Amino acid sequence: MKAIVQDRYGPPELLRYAEVERPAPAGGEVLVRVRAAALNHGDRVDLRGNPSIARLALGVRRPRIPILGRAVAGTVEAAGTGVTALRPGDEVFGETVKRGFAEYVAVPATDLAVKPAGLTFEQAATLPVAATTALQALRLAGADGGASRRVLVNGASGGVGTFAVQLAAHFGHEVTAVCSARNAERATALGAARVVDYAREDVTRGTDRFDVVVDLAGGHPLAAMRRVLTAGGVYIASTGNGGPVLGPVPRLLAVLTSAPLRGGRLRVLTNRRSAEDLATLAALVEAGRLTPYVERTRPLSETADALRVLETEHARGKTVLIVA
């Protein structure tokens, strides 16, 4: 089978579109014939091994798993022993521990959800990682329902941000989206009541206060982000700027260590694989209440070029690889 292979850490130019052995599903796994795979920020971390601390999990000297890709959608080709919920021919989508940028991937059956007929493979591939992160961020803040709140989404135009804006609006909240001016119209269309152009206005210096802040950019000092919270407001940290060694770790540690002093209002988001969340999100898409924004599609063979664009341009939704 064909796959996108990296032999060492570095820029997209190091990737190879190569022939590799097709995997066989182990017990509890299914073999998925990949139809579409979405790019995510984590793929860039896997590619470059940056920040360096990530290599403790990825492989210190070289990638332990040489095939990139975490979010896939496709058709079950074969089922391993012990799998009863899925069978060959089922259309599925889900998150895998790398190996997704390939024609076939073996995935634990419990990490997959059945794709509704109303979703394309491209739409379904955007939901693992990006949409689940957005949903889990709002859940962590207690904003996945209940009374209307004022929600700030910092980094609203990226893959996670476009879902966070839509989901917060779907749950009945008043959403302020922080993004660039060129993405303002789309943020409004996705459900934002107000859009802040970060190039012209610093949201942390204004008078607005928010019940929930979902920070997907991490560009402002933590103290500044705390200032925009209402009494009892919740700050959700998903990332942050940092150096080449530790990356966002110092900022996330600061959130964790200061949270007990502030009643637990500062929280770090850790995305987890959840077939139940995928099914929830897919149902919203099928019902027309959530719209995956696919900015561009590229063939699997052009993964290196797609990652290069992702590194040099501000994301405006999702990039999806088509596996012919």
Domain ranges of the chain: 2-115+293-322, 129-268
In the block, tokens 């893959």 appear at: 159
Tokens read off for 289: 């209440």
Angle between helices 41-48 and 303-312 (to 10 degrees): 110
Close Cβ partners of 303 (under 8 Å, ≥ 6 residues apart): 4, 12, 15, 17, 68, 101, 321
Mean predicted confidence (pLDDT) in 261-267:
64
Tokens read off for 302: 């052009």
pLDDT over threshold 90, residue 296: yes
pLDDT at 239: 67
Q: How far is CA 177 from CA 61, 84, 99, 233, 243, in A?
A: 40, 43, 33, 17, 27
pLDDT at 322: 98
pLDDT over threshold 50, residue 199: yes
Average model confidence (pLDDT) across the chain: 91
Mean predicted confidence (pLDDT) in 157-183:
95
Mean predicted confidence (pLDDT) in 46-66:
87
CA distance 49 to 8: 9
pLDDT digits (tens, 9 = 90+) for 207-261: 999 999 999 988 888 888 889 999 999 999 886 556 555 556 566 666 666 655 4
pLDDT at 317: 81
Superfamily of domain 129-268: NAD(P)-binding Rossmann-like Domain (3.40.50.720)
pLDDT at 246: 55
Q: How far is CA 118 from CA 32, 36, 89, 230, 279, in A?
A: 20, 16, 16, 40, 13
Mean predicted confidence (pLDDT) in 89-93:
98
pLDDT at 251: 64
Close Cβ partners of 201 (under 8 Å, ≥ 6 residues apart): none
21 secondary structure, DSSP code: P
The answer to whether 151 and 168 have CB atoms below 8 angstroms apart is yes
What is the CATH number assigned to the segment(s) 2-115+293-322? 3.90.180.10
